[in-house]
Amino acid sequence: MSTAERRFTVAVVGATGAVGETMLAILAERQFPVGKLIALASERSAGGDVLFAGRKVDVHDLAKFDPTGVDIALFSAGGSVSKEYGPKFAAAGAVVIDNSSAFRYDDDVPLVVSEVNPEAVKNRPRGIIANPNCSTMQMLVALAPIHREYGIERINVATYQSVSGAGRSALEELGRQTGALLNFQEADPQRFPVQIAFNLIPHIDDFMENGYTKEEMKLVWETRKILGDDSIQVNPTAVRVPVFYGHSEAVAIETTRKVTPEAARALLENAPGVEVVDERKPGGYPTPVTHASGNDAVYVGRIREDFSHPRGLNLWIVSDNIRKGAALNAVQLAELVAKEG
């Protein structure tokens, strides 16, 4: 069978989750050559169904599933599920594309943004490819072209991360708390440590010994690994905000060679996966709701010289964290694998 005709048995692990459901939608939307689609989740969802390409697909219990025959497995069911089942799927012959942080920092697992380092998918001795963290993903789609031309030495970034990054239960919590508070009831935080509706929380993932959170350190570790440059300094603050879909980032970079806003704009206008929205007037910038949510691009605006540094540039980077930040990039990696034949 020629490569053009080949169809793949694709398993989506975590198919009932916020990312898994979008993986299914994007596989269909981009007409990925799926021969057979297998939807997997926990025991509690088994027996139910999910939608793929307009039809219902049964959900199976991951713990009881035999991975023999799966060509490509997209995992988005959390780190512990990936750690336990990812290697089993790979041993059975599947290429595992993992959205968790379980393998991202292993030297023998490539960490790939499809627009930045696509060639890295080929070098996967364990049969596992890692999908980067959503915040790193959108930041690097925009910064990699600037790094290649001008050399980025340091990145200061504050993130404004939507609740969908924390999964379906977090989306529900924001909705529930918003309704409760508007009806003069208690917020009753469960998924987040404090109230998220009408608030923001400077804490995502566990605290580390150095005072940063793990979500912040992911930006440091992953930027260096993906750009293949351990000398890049990254200083992140990650904040959860009461937005349903779409992460935003206020980014200040320092480059080796000075890059003007005009040069950066020209570079980004031609960069794959990037859309520049940068008019200096009300509404002339991207926001999660007006631009990112439900769309594929990484939007960049507010491009301006950092007047506090001779080689500094500021950018505002917004993208749908569930799409480019997770599901879309995973499917793009699957497309790269499928092209290998």
Burial class (CB in 10 A: 0-12, 13-18, 19+), 338: buried
Per the annotation, the verdict on 247 as an active-site residue is yes
Does 165 count as an annotated binding residue? yes
Question: How far is 43 from 219, CA to CA, in rounded Å?
Answer: 33
Does 78 count as an annotated binding residue? no
CB atoms within 10 A of CB 6: 12
Of 38-46, 124-132, 152-160, 250-258, the segment contacting ligand A2P by CB under 6 A is 38-46
Question: How far is 321 from 141, CA to CA, in rounded Å?
Answer: 13
Closest CA to 216 of 226, 227, 207: 207
Choose between 82 and 114: whose C-beta lies nearer to ligand A2P.
82
The answer to whether the beta carbons of residues 247 and 271 sit under 8 Å apart is no
Q: Which of 86, 110, 167, 236 is close enough to bind ligand A2P by CB under 6 A?
A: 167
Does 16 count as an annotated binding residue? yes
Q: Which of 45, 293, 295, 314 is close enough to bind ligand A2P by CB under 6 A?
A: 45
Kindly write out the interface string for residues 49-68 of this chain, putting x where it contacts ligand A2P by CB under 6 A and - elsewhere.
Answer: -------------x------
Choose between 18 and 102: whose C-beta lies nearer to ligand A2P.
18
74 binds ligand A2P (CB under 6 A): no
- Residue-by-residue DSSP string for 30-58: TT--EEEEEEEE-TTTTT-EEEETTEEEE
Per the annotation, the verdict on 309 as an active-site residue is no
Does 180 count as an annotated binding residue? no
What is the edge-to-edge ordering of all strands in the sheet holding 55-61?
49-52, 55-61, 34-41, 8-13, 72-75, 95-98, 128-130
Q: Which of 169, 185, 231, 233 is close enough to bind ligand A2P by CB under 6 A?
A: 169
Choose between 39 and 113: whose C-beta lies nearer to ligand A2P.
39
* Angle of helix 18-29 versus helix 328-340 axis, rounded to 10: 50
Strand partners, 159: 238, 249
Tell me how far, at minimum, the Cβ of 153 lies from ligand A2P, in Å. 35
Does 164 count as an annotated binding residue? yes
Q: What phi and psi, each to the nearest 5 degrees, are found at residue 284?
A: -85, 35
Burial 48-73 (b: 16+ CB within 10 A, else e): eebebeeeebebbebeebebeebbbb
Q: Please list every residue from 8 through 27 that binds ligand A2P, using CB under 6 A.
A: 14-18, 20
Choose between 81 and 143: whose C-beta lies nearer to ligand A2P.
81
Tell me how far, at minimum, the Cβ of 87 lies from ligand A2P, in Å. 15
Q: What phi and psi, each to the nearest 5 degrees, are found at residue 270?
A: -105, 5
78 binds ligand A2P (CB under 6 A): yes
Give the N- to C-terminal CA distance of the chain in Å, as an integer: 10
Tell me how far, at minimum, the Cβ of 85 lies from ligand A2P, in Å. 8
Q: Which position among 60, 147, 247, 291 bears the catalytic label?
A: 247
Does 18 count as an annotated binding residue? yes
Choose between 24 and 241: whose C-beta lies nearer to ligand A2P.
24
Question: How far is 114 from 120, CA to CA, in rounded Å?
Answer: 9
| DSSP single-letter state for residue 277 | -
Q: Please list every residue from 282 through 341 that binds ligand A2P, using CB under 6 A.
A: none
What the block records as the tokens of 339 is 């092209």
Q: Which position among 134, 147, 203, 309 bears the catalytic label?
A: 134
81 binds ligand A2P (CB under 6 A): yes
Choose between 80 and 256: whose C-beta lies nearer to ligand A2P.
80
Q: Please list every residue from 192 through 211 that binds ligand A2P, using CB under 6 A.
A: none
| Residues classed as catalytic | 134, 247
Residues annotated within a binding site = 16-19, 44-45, 104, 161, 164-165, 240, 321
Q: Which residues are annotated as a binding site for substrate?
A: 161, 240
Q: Which residues contact ligand A2P by CB under 6 A?
A: 14-18, 20, 41-42, 44-45, 62, 77-78, 81, 167-169
